[in-house]
Amino acid sequence: MTSSQPQDIVQIPWFPKTNPPLAGGAQAGEWQPRDQQSLGTIAKSLVYEVSTTRVNSLPSPWSRALQFEQAVLNTLYPTRDSLLEELFGGLACIGLWEMFGLRLEAQRVALLEHAELQDDAVGPFSRSLASALPDGGMALSRHPEGRNPWEIVYVFTLQGIVVGFSSPSTLFCPAVHLPQPIQGMSWTGNGRFANPVDFLGVSQRQALADWFSHVKNEMLRAKDLHSQTTAGQMAAVLDGFIGKLTGGRVGTPTLSDSARVADLPSNPVALSLLSRPAKGGLSASQSTLELGDRLKSPLPHTPVNQPVVLVDSDMPNKLGVSAADICLYKSATLESIGFDPQRLERQYGNEITVLTPNQIFLDELYLVSGEQALMNSWLPARLEGVPRVNGEAVTPLLPLRPEIRRLFSSRELQDRCELRVIQSSISSELEVRLTLPLHGQRDGYLVSRSYPLKEQNLVAEDLPVITLWPYVSDAHWSLYYLFCEDSPTALTVDGFSDYDRKLGRDGQQVVKYFTTTHFPDLVRLSERGQDRGLLPVIPPTQAPDQGNQWHVGIDFGTSFTNFFIDEGGGPERRHLDTRVISLTLSQKQDRQRLLNQYFVPEEMLPNAVNGGNPPTATAISLRGWQELLGQVPELFHEARLRVPTPGEFGGAELRTGFKWEQMQYQKPFLKELALLISATAAASGAKELQWSVSYPSAFSPNEVARYRRVWDTLCLDLNQLTGLRHSLNTRGSDGGLQTEAVAFASYFGNFQNRQMVHTSCLDVGGGTTDISIWQDNTLIHQVSVPFAGRDISSHLLRRKPSFLKSLFPPSLTADISDDEARARQDKNFTSRLDNIMRYGSDELLAGRLDMLVNQDSELQLPLQQFLSLLSVSFGGIYHYLGQVHQVLRREGKLTRTTPTPVYLGGNGGRLINWIDSSSHFQKGGDPDRLMEMLQIKASSCDSGNASTTLSDAYKDETACGLISSGVNLIGDFDPRDDAMVSGASLRVNDLTFAAGDRVLLPHDMECIDRYDLSDLDSLHAFVDHYDASVGELRLRSLLPIRQLCDLDSLWSEVETEVRSLCLAKVGKEACDLEPEPGFILGLRALTNTLGRLWAERF
Amino acid sequence: MNHFSSSIIKNLLLSSSFIVAASLSGCALISQQANSSSAHRATDEQPRLANGAELLQPESPAPDNQGALTLFGLPFLRLEYLFAVSLSIGILAFLFAWKAWKNSNEVAHCMAQLSVALDATGDRLDVLTDKPGRYDDEYRRQLNELLIRISRLEAQIQDQRLYSSGQTTVHGQASSSPSIASTPLSRVDDLTALIAQATPSFVVAAPPPPPAPDTVRLPAPTGPSKSTLIEALNSGNRQQLKAAAKAELNITRDYESAHFSGRSMRAELEEVNAGGSYWLIEIDGQHWLFPTDKTLRGIAEIGQDKGMYILEKQTIAQSQLLEPALLERTGSTWSLISSGTVAVP
């Protein structure tokens, strides 16, 4: 019932003619109600004729728009309610499209422009439309150019679906049919627009009501307002919508800041109002995760600045509210995204992280054999019931996806995870429940999944060894290691993107080392490259932040390295706790083997019950690394500290003796030791570690520089690796290093508060004897000589392994070969022997030695001679001490003319017990008197008390002394200014030194071309003094040297040995030359010769 | 692969046609009694899929001149229908017999386990044969494990059969159908043969011959021998040792401490729930200490053991147990009586 102008309906016979003709209404499209009788009249008057010349019935293309117009204007319009409902639904789409994350577009259609087209479709159709344009009289706005407002309309498409077009009189004319529902807008579901109220959340309803209110007000205030009537009626309709939405409550409308419908002009105003949708108020999200630990200490992929929004289709049931009322993010509700997380992702993907239950749980549950197969994990404690497969107990792995690690810590999951075995008549299932913390949800949001216990998901292989180090809170630590066996088919650890991985490989054995800067509280397990679940670790407790400083004294020894710690209460020896934890109950022996060989052992041996560790064997294992000559191996995958024991010493992978050679091993060894100590410090709440480090002055200048460099870089490394502050103690020492001689003296002077008025200290270590001489608390001389435990006993025993095996029980010497040649080739023999001594000396000295010495047997004579040879070695050291005294007296530094009392200690120092007939060194005993006499004879001083006090803490003295304070020991502690006393005639290149001279090599000396002893007079003197002393003291337990050899032939052999030792020094760079007094070199030659002769005799 | 897929589909269709045919024949059988003409119509039609496609027919049982047979008074009953009916009746009989048998003794439980095992084995065998060369070792291991399980189940079944046959004799009850008892066993035999073909290196012990029906005495269960277990360990068959083990053992802390520090002490071991490095296996009343395969490998790697085995250097690729150590119980722990021997490379 349309026409371009009021005409008689007969003249434009689009409808059947009537007879008699019936006049139309005054206004096209205007609804005029008639009674039922009128319809009957019309029906009877219709003329049905067949027309062959023109179309006489055509539905108006504008009828839909005009129906809506009527529905708005005429309250009696019969389909008004239905039409207004459609209009309501349609306008809701126009107002809410942005909130639903959709895209609304408008396309301008200018009918008159198209009407000119001379094609077969568009042109005729446009002309047809144009010819039947509705009257613009009821339009809301005037056309700016006074034209009919219906000439230009805009077709709206939402997500590409035509939803209607603009209507000058009703703002919008909804499409009569929707080919498909609009995503998330469930009121568009039945092919037409419906009342949207039931499908909108509270916030959305309010936002739409506010938008309607805005549209209404702007429409009424529009400057181009045309029909007051239409505007008033339309405003009433909008009020009706608002009433349905919010009961009439309107707030301040919030319109979109950014979203606009492109191509909609700013005039007419009524049309422009459709261009800007509602933004919606910022409703509190009901599904945003409340992150805790990961926000405080974010992982690399933790969404720190993005809310994590959970999308779960079960939310309406679980929360007891409709999907429309579940606000996900901003204006998006579960309803608005159509329960589709991907839509939320598309809509707000750059602002939020979307999480679904499927992204939390693994598809399958995997199991490992055994009931308590996991260690240091909270998972068993959170498991209710015992899951079984084929009747055997199994342990489930936590079936969460690895990505969950970036959101939650193990501690949080521990509080929020529950696992429960559910038995049914036909199967067993494991229900995993995870309560997610959501903003505003006090009790959290429960997501769960049930998994059948499947035999095929039981990891059949043995549990792998998986360990973690250090077990220290990451509030106090920076770098963690995860160690595990690697296997292409078995269960193993897989890393995360922020992990660094290294491999160790030895034959069939492959191990992995992962490093991470965060405590690895959730370990990712995989099998054949497929995720098998997480292994949650009980997080370490965070130590109270005490902020204190630890002072650590490190005595890096040839055989053993010792350390003392002062936490503030004075130096103490503290058992080294490795703080390594195992995460799987793997086979114990296999675990021990792997950890000892490739990583950090669970327990340092000897354990605290058996004497404790330190000292730690100066040894590392290179197992799994293909050694490259001279290359410094990295910790742990290339080298790691090794704790050899007599029971399990080690093989070709073991490296010892690197204090003096193969120094590239120093760094990994010291680094691990320092890290182990630091981990304990961190676990105790310490913030800073100050390292006091000793070194022997027998180090060559290059060795000292190198060692200092090692510690400098180590401190820098430690700063990075631990998160604690590390520094070298430079107080009272040179460049942070202290000589062992001074540190040793400090133990007696400071820690034990002994007098240092007229005193000598002898620290007989494994490789060097560090001598310091004190007068009135002032250091007057220090020297480190390369003659110590190894020279005293090891080299002897090495010559005669069968003799060694007769001294100690087979359990200690099982892997010592009887073959002397093999023993000589064994690079680790000395370390092996040191370990045997460490574990077996006490038992030997407790009675066995005495029995062997006094028992008439084949062993008696060689043993007696062996002990006498030990005595000769100690005598040589004391003799050299006397020689030094003599020089110091001559120089006026030592004023007293009596011999000095001696403090004797060190790991090698304990050997002096062997030569005491009581097996325990005693003041006034034979050895004590012998040493005193040798000192006197060598120094040519007056007689006097010069007893030796044996330390009660072998090997501890230097480490403890490094951090001890008390008596103000003074002096120039820099050994570079204190040249050694030669003790024998010595020639170095063109320089000649007499026995009483100090050996001071010029700085410009480059290469050692000549190095020899001019004569052996000093050694002759020593032998004479020694034998004389033994005679004078009437010692029976110790034999004179002349009874240990044929003196007539001895000296030629000693000369040869001296020559051999000197040649070893020739050719070296002067800065690489380890200083050695001439007498000590001769002493080495003498004892080597005597030892060889002894070994050959038996 | 295409051939394989098409054969699967064909088989599915065939089996579908059987089910349909069986159902139809059941209906026809019933309705024939009431109205033979309706049965005639029903059997005269080709079974069709919902979309009208003609179903594939079984090849052998259906002759071209269908409907010519006269059996049980059914003039046009087709051969496959008869076959299906007999199959259905057989299944029903099987189920009834199974149920009765299950109620009568526990053999059924073992049968069920065996059935599961057979199914699993069959599946894995498919994989093995489908992917020759891939994961050979692993599947061989798995097959080996399954074979062991099957062997054990067979032994149990045999025992249970003996037991139940004794009960049957005593109580005079009817014995279960031979076909039921023999079906899973025959699957075992078939499978064994298949596995023997697939993995010729395995030697599968044949199940013991069935005892005489009048035997009522139960033979004492005989476990694997020491040499069998040594061989199993040396060939990497962990499961056989696990199955034979009485307990898992680890050395005690005291002994460990003594061992590390070189103190002489008689080796002591304790039982642990998990993480054991050794198996305690009782053979003929004696308790033997077997290392786990990992422990055995570890001994080779470090060239030392914990004092339970004497190591013999041999020209071999990997360590091998020559003789397990002998233990005796001392209170709550186990002590070494005599050392074992391990050959190391």
Give the Cα separation of A456 and A744 in Å (integer).
Answer: 64
Which residues of B are less than 8 Å from A587 in CB distance?
275-277, 292, 294-295
Helix A202-221, helix A80-96: angle, nearest 10: 100
Give the residue-averaged pLDDT of A349-355. Answer: 92
Residues of chain A contacting residue B301, judged by C-beta atoms under 8 Å apart: 506-507, 509, 593, 597
Of chain A, the end-to-end C-alpha distance in Å amounts to 135
Give the per-residue pLDDT at B184. 38
Rounded to the nearest angstrom, the minimum Cα separation between A647 and chain B is 5
- Which pLDDT band, with edges at 50, 70 and 90, does A478 fall under? very high
pLDDT at position B143, please? 67
**Banded pLDDT at A36 (limits 50, 70, 90):** low
Cβ atoms B271, A617 nearer than 8 A: no
Inter-chain touch A590–B263, beta carbons under 8 Å: no
In this structure, of A488-497, A690-699, A780-789, B17-26, the range with the lowest mean pLDDT score is B17-26
A167 burial type by CB count under 10 A (0-12 exposed, 13-18 middle, 19+ buried): buried
Q: How far is B19 from chain A (nearest CA, A)?
A: 27
* pLDDT at position A46: 64
Position B58 scores a pLDDT of 39
Residue with tokens 């093989």: A651
Write down the pLDDT at residue A645.
78
Give just the sign of the alpha carbon dihedral A107, A112, A114, A115. positive
Using DSSP's 3-state secondary structure scheme, residue B193 falls into helix
Query: How confident is the model over A102-154, as pLDDT tens digits?
Result: 889 999 988 888 888 888 778 888 888 888 888 888 899 988 788 889 988 99
SS (H, E, C) B115-180: HHHHHHHHHHHHHHHHCCCCCHHHHHHHHHHHHHHHHHHHHHHHHHHHHHHHHHHHHCCCCCCHHH
Q: Where is pLDDT greater, at B221 or A545?
A: A545
| CB of A911 closer than 8 Å to CB of A791 | no
CB-CB: which of B250, B301, B307 is closest to A588?
A: B250
What's the CA gap between A22 and A39, in Å, rounded? 12
DSSP, res A807: H
- Claim: this prediction has a pTM higher than 0.90: no
What pLDDT is recorded for position B18?
36
Checking if the pLDDT of B138 tops 70, the result is: no
Of A378-382, A852-856, A931-935, B58-62, which range is least confident?
A: B58-62
E strands, A356-397, where? 367-369, 383-384, 388-389, 392-396
Q: How far is B99 from chain A (nearest CA, A)?
A: 17
Strands A367-369 and A392-396: antiparallel
pLDDT of res. A1082: 96
Is it the case that residue A280 has pLDDT exceeding 60?
yes
CA distance A545 to B83: 84
DSSP reduced 3-state for A304: coil
Answer whether B195's CB lies under 8 Å from B143's CB.
Answer: yes
Residue A697's pLDDT is what?
A: 82
Residue A1033 tokens read as 């003291």
- The tens digit of pLDDT for each residue in A56-69 reads 444 567 888 989 99
**pLDDT value for A171:** 94
Higher-pLDDT residue of A445, B111: A445
Q: Do B301 and A593 lie within an 8 Å CB cutoff?
A: yes
Task: Give residue B180's pLDDT.
Answer: 34
**Per-residue pLDDT for A1079 more than 50?**
yes
Q: Which residue type is seen at A136? A: G
pLDDT above 70 for A546: no
Q: How many CB pairs under 8 A join A and B?
A: 102
CA distance A1069 to A1007: 4
pLDDT value at position A974?
Answer: 80
Give the residue ranges of DSSP H helices in chain B: 2-34, 36-44, 79-104, 107-130, 136-171, 178-198, 226-234, 238-244, 253-261, 293-302
The predicted structure's pLDDT at residue B63: 39
End-to-end CA distance of chain B: 46
Task: Please give the pLDDT value at position A147.
Answer: 85
Closest alpha carbon to A658 in A532, A782, A793, A766 = A766
Question: What value does the mean pLDDT of chain A take?
Answer: 88
In this predicted structure, the answer to whether residue A38 has a pLDDT above a threshold of 80 is no
The phi, psi pair for A681, rounded to 5°, reads -65, -45
Q: What is the pLDDT of residue A1050?
A: 92
Mean pLDDT over the full length of chain B: 60
Residue bearing tokens 């030659």: A1085
Residue A241 has pLDDT above 60, yes or no: yes
**Model confidence pLDDT, tens digit, residues A405-423:** 999 999 999 999 999 999 8
Residue A476 vs residue A1063, higher pLDDT: A1063
pLDDT at A1074 over 70: yes
| pLDDT of A594 above 50 | yes
| pLDDT at position B130 over 70 | no
User: Looking at the predicted structure, is the pLDDT value of residue A768 above 70?
Assistant: yes
Residue A9 has pLDDT above 60, yes or no: no
* Nearest residue of chain A to residue B276 (CA atoms): A587
How far is Cα A1095 from Cα B3, in angstroms, rounded to an integer?
A: 83
Q: Model confidence over A945-954: pLDDT tens digits?
A: 889 999 988 7
For chain B, give the number of residues. Answer: 345
> Span A67-74, mean pLDDT?
92
CB atoms within 10 A of CB B13: 16
Per-residue pLDDT of A788-802, as tens digits, reads: 999 999 888 888 888
Query: Residues of B with CB below 8 A from A647's CB?
Result: 259-262, 304, 306-307
User: pLDDT per residue over B22-66, tens digit each?
Assistant: 333 333 333 344 343 333 433 333 333 333 333 333 333 333 333
- Tens of pLDDT, residues A185-201: 889 988 999 999 988 88
Contact of B112 with B94, CB cutoff 8 Å: no
Nearest CA in chain B to A653: B302
Closest-CA residue of chain B to A611: B261
For residue A393, the cross-strand partners are A388
Tens digits of residue pLDDT in A635-654: 999 999 988 877 778 888 88
Q: What is the DSSP letter of A749?
A: I
**Each residue of B141-169: b (16+ CB within 10 Å) or e?**
bbbbbbbbbbbbbbbbbbebbbebbbebe
The helix (run of H) or strand (run of E) holding residue A420 is: strand A417-423
Partners of A808 on chain B (C-beta within 8 Å) are 262
ipTM over 0.95: no
Which residue in chain A is spatially nearest to B296 when comparing CA positions? A590
Contacts of residue A238, defined as CB under 8 A and 6 or more positions apart, other chains included, come to A212, A213, A215, A216
> What is the β-pairing status of strands A654-656 and A619-621?
antiparallel
Of the pLDDT bands very low, low, confident and very high (cuts 50, 70, 90), residue B317 is: confident
Instruction: At B35, list the tokens.
Output: 């109205």
- Of A219 and A815, the structure prediction assigns the larger pLDDT to A219
pLDDT at A435: 95
Share of chain A above pLDDT 90, in %: 54
Classify residue B116 as exposed, middle or buried by CB count within 10 Å of its CB (0-12, 13-18, 19+). middle
pLDDT score recorded for residue A973: 79
- pLDDT exceeds 50 at position B109: no
The residues pairing with B330 across neighbouring beta strands, listed in sequence order, are B333
Report the 3 state secondary structure along A828-867: CHHHHHHHHHHHHHHHHHHHHHHHHHHCCCCCHHHHHHHH
pLDDT digits (tens, 9 = 90+) for A564-579: 999 988 999 999 999 9
B303 contacts on A by Cβ (under 8 Å): 651
